[in-house]
């Protein structure tokens, strides 16, 4: 059963991210913060430009991480670099994971992840130095889909940026490269349903991995890179445990990140993707479908899906592009 679970959940491995290992420089201050999310205590890292002046307000950014990731990884890297550009930026651990509260643990529930983003916006509005009319959401990998979905109804989010965007629900339903049959989907959902019954009757929960613990030749490039980056010193972090609760798969299965974006997503939208990403089609789909009058797909030449999490010069090129886009569209 464990092998079956592993193979079916493995699509999640491409949704993970990696640790920002750079040392903090003198132009940014980082504060550990807590904020409320419907009774759950959320843990975040708030990055502040050193040049902030008393009495002034600044544009603020919520940085949403990929599935299974933590605030010390790519969302924290992007938050830090955006703070260097003069933005207040918040990276946080998802509810039910890492240092944030919430039970059961190790849940990957897209609906909770979307609410996490709204709660992060709530928190930013309480800060006197944040300009409430200039709040941005950026997301990496699955976080991009979650951020877009949150912005459909949360109109406090004025601009959206996705980096290596994916739709968690579509990846789990159809697999990273597609081709999952209806019969396979039903069998998987039957297994998840049986798991819920087992837990209700006292069994210990079954967990899968976001990232494969071992690399085989038949894995897609993104999954190989995810293992190399997430399960080695390059990006490992203690609170990112590569562990996801099987029972939470039923929540992911019906999620559609881009539902209603052709009607409700009117904010300016920037999608950034590597030219060699095997998930490039997701960013293309988001830009094509969004109702936004201002929307753009920006390709980073030579970068893969995972490269965009920490590789240079790709990350700095992405930061430069999103900085100019934000300054142009945050009026």
d(CA 261, CA 148): 8
Would you state the pLDDT for residue 230?
83
d(CA 175, CA 156): 33
Would you state the pLDDT for residue 134?
98
Would you state the pLDDT for residue 26?
53
Q: Which residue has the tokens 């753009």?
A: 296
Residue 25 structure tokens: 């420089």
Model confidence at 14, in pLDDT bands (50, 70, 90)? very low
Helix (H, G, I), strand (E, B) or coil at 33: strand
Taking only the tens place, the pLDDT of each residue in 274-296 is: 999 999 999 999 999 999 999 99
| pLDDT value at 52 more than 60 | yes
Q: In this structure, which CATH number among 1.20.1050.10, 3.30.390.50, 3.40.50.620, 3.40.50.1820 belongs to the domain 2-329?
A: 3.40.50.1820
Taking only the tens place, the pLDDT of each residue in 256-266 is: 999 999 999 99
Taking only the tens place, the pLDDT of each residue in 220-238 is: 899 999 988 788 888 888 9
| pLDDT value at 6 more than 60 | no
The stretch 160-167 carries a mean pLDDT of 97
Q: Which helix (DSSP H) or strand (DSSP E) does residue 186 occupy? A: helix 182-200
Q: What pTM did the predictor assign?
A: 0.91
The stretch 121-126 carries a mean pLDDT of 98
- Percentage of residues of the chain with pLDDT beyond 90: 82
Asked whether 36 and 119 are in contact (CB, 8 A), the reply is yes
Would you state the pLDDT for residue 193?
98
| pLDDT value at 82 more than 90 | yes
Residue 268 structure tokens: 């300016």
| Backbone angles phi and psi of 255, in degrees to 5 | -75, 135
Taking only the tens place, the pLDDT of each residue in 305-324 is: 999 999 999 999 999 999 99
Asked whether 50 and 74 are in contact (CB, 8 A), the reply is no
Q: Which helix (DSSP H) or strand (DSSP E) does residue 113 occupy? A: helix 110-125
| pLDDT value at 1 more than 50 | no
- Percentage of residues of the chain with pLDDT beyond 70: 92
Domain coordinates in residue numbering, the chain: 2-329
Would you state the pLDDT for residue 21?
31
Would you state the pLDDT for residue 179?
86
Residue 95 structure tokens: 């509810």
Mean predicted lDDT score pLDDT of the chain:
91
Would you state the pLDDT for residue 232?
87
| pLDDT value at 18 more than 60 | no
Per-position DSSP letters for 63-95, written without gaps between them: EEPPTT--TTBHHHHHHHHHHHTT-EEEEEPPT
């Amino acid at each position: 059963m464990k092998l079956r679970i592993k193979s079916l959940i493995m699509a999640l491995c491409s949704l993970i991210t990696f640790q920002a290992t750079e040392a903090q420089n003198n132009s940014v201050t980082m504060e550990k913060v807590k904020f409320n999310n419907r009774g759950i205590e959320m843990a975040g890292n708030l990055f502040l430009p050193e040049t902030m002046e008393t009495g002034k307000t600044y544009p603020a950014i919520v940085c949403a991480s990929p599935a299974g990731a933590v605030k010390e990884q790519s969302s924290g890297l992007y938050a830090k670099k955006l703070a260097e550009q003069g933005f207040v930026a918040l990276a946080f651990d998802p509810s039910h994971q890492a240092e944030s509260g919430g039970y059961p643990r190790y849940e990957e529930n897209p609906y909770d992840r979307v609410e996490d983003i709204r709660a992060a916006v709530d928190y930013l509005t309480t800060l006197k130095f944040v300009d409430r009319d200039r709040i941005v959401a950026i997301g990496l990998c699955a976080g991009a889909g979650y951020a877009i979905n949150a912005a459909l109804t949360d109109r406090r989010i004025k601009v959206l940026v996705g980096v290596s965007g994916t739709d968690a629900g579509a990846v789990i339903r159809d697999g990273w490269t597609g081709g999952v049959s209806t019969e396979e989907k039903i069998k998987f959902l039957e297994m998840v349903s049986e798991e819920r019954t087992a837990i209700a009757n006292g069994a210990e929960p079954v967990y899968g991995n976001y990232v494969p613990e071992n690399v085989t030749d038949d894995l897609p490039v993104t999954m190989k890179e995810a293992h190399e980056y997430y399960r080695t010193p390059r990006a490992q972090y203690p609170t990112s445990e590569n562990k996801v609760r099987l029972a939470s798969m039923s929540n992911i299965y019906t999620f559609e990140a881009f539902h209603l974006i052709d009607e409700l997503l009117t904010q300016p939208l920037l999608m950034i993707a590597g030219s060699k990403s095997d998930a490039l089609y997701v960013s293309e789909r988001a830009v094509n479908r969004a109702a936004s009058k201002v929307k753009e797909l920006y390709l980073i030449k030579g970068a893969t899906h995972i490269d965009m999490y920490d590789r240079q010069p790709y990350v700095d090129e992405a930061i430069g592009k999103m900085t100019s886009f934000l300054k142009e569209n945050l009026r």
